[in-house]
Amino acid sequence: MNFQNNLAFAQGLDQADPLARFREMFYFPNQNNEPFIYLCGNSLGLQPKSAREVLDVQLSNWQNLAVEGWFEGERPWMFYHKALKELIAPIVGARIQEVCPMNTLTVNLHLLMVSFYKPDAKRFKIIMEAGAFPSDQYAIESQVRFHGYDPAEAIIEVAPKAGAFNLETSDILQAIADNRDELALVLFGGVNYFTGQWYDMPAITKAGHEAGAVVGFDLAHAAGNVPLELHDWDVDFACWCSYKYQNSGPGGISAIFVHEKHFGDETLNRFAGWWGYHEEQRFKMEKGFVPEAGADGWQVSCTQVMPMALYHASLQIFKQAGFMKPLREKSEKLTAYLMYLIAEVNIALGYEQYKVITPSKPTERGSQVSIIAKENGKAIFNELVAKHVLGDWREPNVIRLSPVPLYNSFEDVFKTGALLLQVCQSK
């Protein structure tokens, strides 16, 4: 598409946007009665207007049914997670029995590593991306130590080449091949939180399996952001939070994926809990853990009804939007337009004030554009916030801007580009 750097062009794109109506389904933060241009969905998604309604329904159930709410009402709490599973599966490309909403992200990462990281004297190493989000770093490090290994020896971090910001897929595959005889697990993020790079998940999965390793992903910045086909890609396991691109609220519930090929594997370890016990026999309270079929068998604690209700509100909007295909089409245009406008800002300034470190190829990025502000970065970010553009600051000099297709417009993106120029000129 041939973009234009003017408001009329951006408004024309919005008028032709089949997803434009979904913007009205969300609340935007405001300051002094002026709404923000919100470009921080990669950190915390906006509140759906339906969230209060679905939460009120569950509060009423609690008020009127009390403990009987587990078995009575329109959606008894005992089985509430099943309504979410039907909506989660299309977002991550899974079969319904392969997904389950439960716990929070790092808890789920630990629970899945209990099952799928099974080191021995020969195979004990884990490959991950360098500079992964700290929760991944800490979880993996602690799991390695728990099994009696030295993280410095057991964890292999694949880093970009000198001077680069993004990983080459060939370097990831080479690292897997180089360590194939000692590799127990490949555990990557789906989309890098810092740069917005979307890793080649099918290629990584295939290479990991060819090396004899298990392959899992942390999809915190990928689920609800990019199209995923976890089942068809033969991914072994994955987990994600739901409060970023999936708008389930701060600290919202997480979810897991376990490929169905593992359901009959009785050699897998797991930390069991009552809620993962075989559903039809659960209330017999008998000794000896018998897991429920599918991903539900990895549950530990009972259904978190209120967080699930908030997640359910957002998932129903995804369904109305047609799930990931139309969202992805708009996402690619939004990020491409933002990159174009940033280039226009640099041209107007006469120097490269903003360096985009997010991949330019649509197939290699999520709905995020990360830029290095070469001068006065934090001051520029603060000025953007003062002018009602809310992105995300990452030390030492990176501004992350995330135009989310469910609720951001092309006009949002145009105005952000104009402010990036205006702020620099004023400085």
pLDDT for the residue 426: 80
For residue 399, the cross-strand partners are 371, 393
Instruction: Report the SS3 class of residue 332.
Output: helix
Which of 256, 234, 254, 258 lies closest to 243, judged by CA?
A: 254
pLDDT for the residue 282: 86
pLDDT for the residue 32: 85
What predicted TM-score, i.e. pTM, was given to this entire model?
A: 0.96
Tokens 């370097």 found at: 171
The C-alpha atoms of residue 224 and residue 366 are separated, in whole angstroms, by: 10
Burial of 1 (0-12, 13-18, 19+ CB in 10 A): exposed
The C-alpha atoms of residue 416 and residue 342 are separated, in whole angstroms, by: 9
Which is it for strands 26-27 and 47-48: parallel, antiparallel or unpaired?
antiparallel
Q: Which residues of the chain have pLDDT under 50?
A: none
pLDDT for the residue 285: 87
pLDDT for the residue 213: 98
Give the chain's domains with CATH numbers. Answer: 7-35+323-426 (3.90.1150.10), 54-320 (3.40.640.10)
C-alpha triplet 211, 215, 216: angle, nearest 5°: 165
Residues 410-426 pLDDT 10s: 999 999 999 999 998 88
pLDDT for the residue 1: 85
Residues 366-408 pLDDT 10s: 999 999 999 899 999 999 999 999 999 999 999 999 999 999 9
